[in-house]
Amino acid sequence: MVSQIYTISVRTSSRTQLVDITRQVRELVRKSGIREGICVVYVPHTTAGVTINENADPSVREDIEDVLNRLVPPGRNYRHLEGNADSHVKSVMVGPSIDLIVTGGDILLGTWQGIFFCEFDGPRNRKVLVRVVGE
């Protein structure tokens, strides 16, 4: 069994932003040399997350951002006084990690699927950890 860990740096440019990181994750899986296994993508932040969804039509990610902002609007009467309580809640809703199937030296995604880093308290410099395990 082989196991490799990598870091992707993401620079976000707005408070809420879904950033397509599919290409970077693919490149790291190829670099690992692992043909069959699992790839874990993990976000070590409390006001960001990672998810998989459609990357063909950019309006899908805009709709996701809009709905999350409507469900959990910023600047309301939250107990957390740092001013980013909504960002923490959105992070919980999206989650901190995804698991991907690695086969044939590549990640297995559906035709319309892409991997999105989800920023909820930007703009910031962020890290995404990628662990590839397999043979």
Where b means 16+ CB within 10 Å and e means fewer, 82-99 reads eebbbbbbbbeebebebe
Distance CA 51, CA 32 (A): 22
Determine, following the binding rule CB under 5 A, whether residue 17 of this chain makes contact with Zn ion. Answer: no
- C-beta of residue 109 within 8 angstroms of C-beta of residue 52: yes
| Residue span 23-62 as binding mask against Zn ion, x where in contact by CB under 5 A, dash where not | ----------------------------------------
- C-beta of residue 41 within 8 angstroms of C-beta of residue 115: yes
Smaller CB separation from Zn ion, 22 or 46? 46
Smaller CB separation from Zn ion, 35 or 88? 88
Determine, following the binding rule CB under 5 A, whether residue 91 of this chain makes contact with Zn ion. Answer: no
Q: Binding residue for Zn ion (CB under 5 A) from 34, 84, 98, 119?
A: 84
Smaller CB separation from Zn ion, 85 or 98? 85
Residues that bind Zn ion (CB under 5 A): 82, 84
